[in-house]
Amino acid sequence: MCLAIPARVTELLDGDQARIELSGVHKVVSIALVEEVAVGDYLIVHVGFAIGKLDPDEAAQTLALFAQMGSSVDPATLI
Amino acid sequence: MKYVDEFRDGELARALANAIAKAADPARTYRLMEFCGGHTHAISRYGLLDLLPPNVRMIHGPGCPVCVLPIGRIDSAIALATQHDVILCTYADTMRVPASGGLSLFKAKAQGADIRMVYSCDDALRIAQENPSREVVFFAIGFETTTPPTAAIILQAARLNLTNFSVFCNHVLTPAAMVHIMESEQDPAAVAIDGFVGPAHVSTVIGSAPYEAFVARYQRPVVIAGFEPLDVIQSILMLVLQINEGRAEVENEFTRAVTREGNRKAQAMCGQVFEMRESFDWRGLGEVPYSALKIRPEFAQFDAELRYQIAYLQVPDHKACECAAILRGHKRPTDCKVFGTVCTPDHPIGACMVSSEGACAAHYTYGRFRVV
């Protein structure tokens, strides 16, 4: 119920709905709870409703931080 | 899968775990509670405990919506389907939770009650539209993640002027439960938890701001983490570093989905439909003040509790079940005598064995052969 993974918007539909794709699975979900959804956005979907959008820049920064943390000798210097 | 696979890199996970091992002070123990069942599941599924040094201990929290729902609430849902002859729509997770009299929603369904599993609460609304001659009740459970969808369908039902649809609301609140855990001792400073891994998707909705008062009051760091294994390990590292430095702050590891203010639109819809309950009975925690929501009087026609005069009756848990102590972080699944013997995911005695997010189910499925 709480394990949701980001799904990509492939088509915007009428009635606050969008078609999403995840690993080849397509599904129609409600976008009534989020603002300004565009095709190509990644949404966090719970029980058939998008509850948030994923920020690609922040995702890239987090991955860069992991790489930096993982390669560092002294983690205390990374904060 | 984009935004999934790159957050599951095993090599990076080991590197981050090494950073934790280097940062962790061998002279002390780090007792960290992952509040959310989604994190409990990730920790077990990806074997993260095996990557952590022995003095960094993870304590499973009560953030599993199925686990914290007390027997009396399931009994009420069964009564709706059996005594009031409604079509009861529910998320699948609640179906196997043991209720009174050896019943569960599954068994009630097998005995002829019209209970239907839905993926989305939208489906419950559709079933009400397709069956105008029947009363349809949606059994709404969950934390702040599943609350906005419930608000959305109540608003939709009001727009459609549906007269045969109502909601049995059992939505609960995360920050209130965290406060309750800290207030469980006479002196909050004595609570044996050094920091919290904050929930991922709950925080997507509520934002990181609601944890600020908690952190200031109880001086325990909270790091909001995503659900992927690298997110969890990184958040553990951030907690260890905060504890080492004597800091207690809200930090956000899950910046790709969580902002300080959260999802304002979802919050506004919830505020329109729901108000605070003065108190709610949680399995494992007991009565927790201002920890749950009820439907506002403006939407009373959609409130199943009023419509069917549901009176809540508290029912004690199974005597052998240690769910209550496990939910509070006082015991581990393996401390329970019936764990893995009488109580298994196929035949759960307690709620923690029902949902894949429950501490016992996660440990049984992924961790029971670990050398503890």
pLDDT digits (tens, 9 = 90+) for B163-193: 999 999 999 999 999 999 999 888 999 899 9
- Report yes or no: A56 at the B interface, CB cutoff 8 Å: yes
Angle, alpha carbons B142-B144-B147 (nearest 5°): 70
Q: Is residue B310 part of a domain?
A: yes
Residue carrying the six token digits 């002390």? B28
Helical segments of B161-303, H only: 174-182, 201-206, 210-218, 229-244, 264-273
Q: Which two tokens stand for residue B294?
A: 């009820």
Within 8 A of B255 by CB-CB distance, chain A residues are 55, 58, 61-62
Res A78: pLDDT: 42
Q: Which two tokens stand for residue B49?
A: 């405990």
Res B185: pLDDT: 83
Nearest by CB to residue B256, choosing from A59, A66, A75, is A59
Q: Cβ B204–A74 below 8 Å, yes or no?
A: no
For residue B58, list its beta bridge partners.
Answer: B32
Within 8 A of A46 by CB-CB distance, chain B residues are 145-146, 149, 201
- Report yes or no: B319 at the A interface, CB cutoff 8 Å: no
Within 8 A of A71 by CB-CB distance, chain B residues are 15
Closest residue in B to A69 (Cα) is B16
Cα–Cα distance, B205 to A22 (Å, whole number)? 22
Res B371: pLDDT: 53
**Domains of chain A listed by start with CATH number:** 5-69 (2.30.30.140)
Domain tally, chain B: 1
Closest residue in A to B153 (Cα) is A32
Cα–Cα distance, B206 to B204 (Å, whole number)? 6
Nearest by CB to residue A58, choosing from B7, B205, B256, is B256
Q: Is the pLDDT of residue A57 over 90?
A: yes
- Report yes or no: B260 at the A interface, CB cutoff 8 Å: no
Res A70: pLDDT: 66
Q: Is residue B250 part of a domain?
A: yes
B133, B134, B140, B146 alpha-carbon torsion, rounded to 10° = -40
Q: Cβ A75–B237 below 8 Å, yes or no?
A: yes
Res B143: pLDDT: 96
Q: Is residue B179 part of a domain?
A: yes
Name which of B137, B140, B130, B142 is nearest B88 in CA terms. B137
Res B32: pLDDT: 97
Q: Is residue B245 part of a domain?
A: yes
User: Residues 6 or more apart from B1 whose CB is under 8 A from it?
Assistant: A5, A22, A23
Q: Which of B6, B120, B206, B258 to mutate to test the interface with A (most CBs of A within 10 A)?
A: B120
Q: Is the pLDDT of residue A2 over 50?
A: no
Q: Is residue B192 part of a domain?
A: yes
Residues of chain B with pLDDT under 50: 372
User: Residues 6 or more apart from A52 whose CB is under 8 A from it?
Assistant: A34, A43, A44, B201, B204, B205, B257, B258, B263
Q: Is the pLDDT of residue A79 over 60?
A: no
For residue B294, list its beta bridge partners.
Answer: B275
Nearest by CB to residue B205, choosing from A23, A51, A65, is A51
Q: Is B228 in contact with B194 (CB distance < 8 Å)? A: no
In this structure, the number of other CB atoms found within 10 A of the CB of residue B153 comes to: 29
Nearest by CB to residue A52, choosing from B119, B257, B356, is B257
Name which of B46, B67, B24 is nearest B229 in CA terms. B46
DSSP three-state, residue A2 = coil
Helical segments of chain B, H only: 10-23, 37-45, 71-83, 105-110, 121-130, 147-160, 174-182, 201-206, 210-218, 229-244, 264-273, 304-307, 323-327, 359-362
Q: Cβ A51–B145 below 8 Å, yes or no?
A: yes
Q: Cβ B23–A53 below 8 Å, yes or no?
A: no
- Report yes or no: A28 at the B interface, CB cutoff 8 Å: no
- Chain A, window 60-79: residues with a beta carbon less than 8 angstroms from a chain B beta carbon: 61-63, 65-67, 69-72, 74-76, 79
A1 confidence band (pLDDT: 50, 70, 90): very low
- Report yes or no: B359 at the A interface, CB cutoff 8 Å: no
Angle, alpha carbons B245-B247-B250 (nearest 5°): 135
Q: Cβ B122–A23 below 8 Å, yes or no?
A: no
User: Min CA distance, A38 vs chain B (Å)?
Assistant: 16
Q: Cβ B65–A6 below 8 Å, yes or no?
A: no
The pTM of the full predicted model, rounded to 2 decimals, is 0.93
Q: Is the pLDDT of residue A76 over 70?
A: no
Domain that holds residue B243: 32-365
- Report yes or no: B41 at the A interface, CB cutoff 8 Å: yes
Q: Is residue B251 part of a domain?
A: yes
Name which of B209, B309, B213 is nearest B267 in CA terms. B209
Res B340: pLDDT: 93
User: Min CA distance, A21 vs chain B (Å)?
Assistant: 10
Looking up residue B281, the CATH number of its domain turns out to be 3.40.50.11740
Q: Which two tokens stand for residue B285?
A: 């925690």
Q: Is residue B372 part of a domain?
A: no
Cα–Cα distance, B271 to B273 (Å, whole number)? 6
Q: Cβ A33–B149 below 8 Å, yes or no?
A: yes
In this structure, the number of other CB atoms found within 10 A of the CB of residue B217 comes to: 12
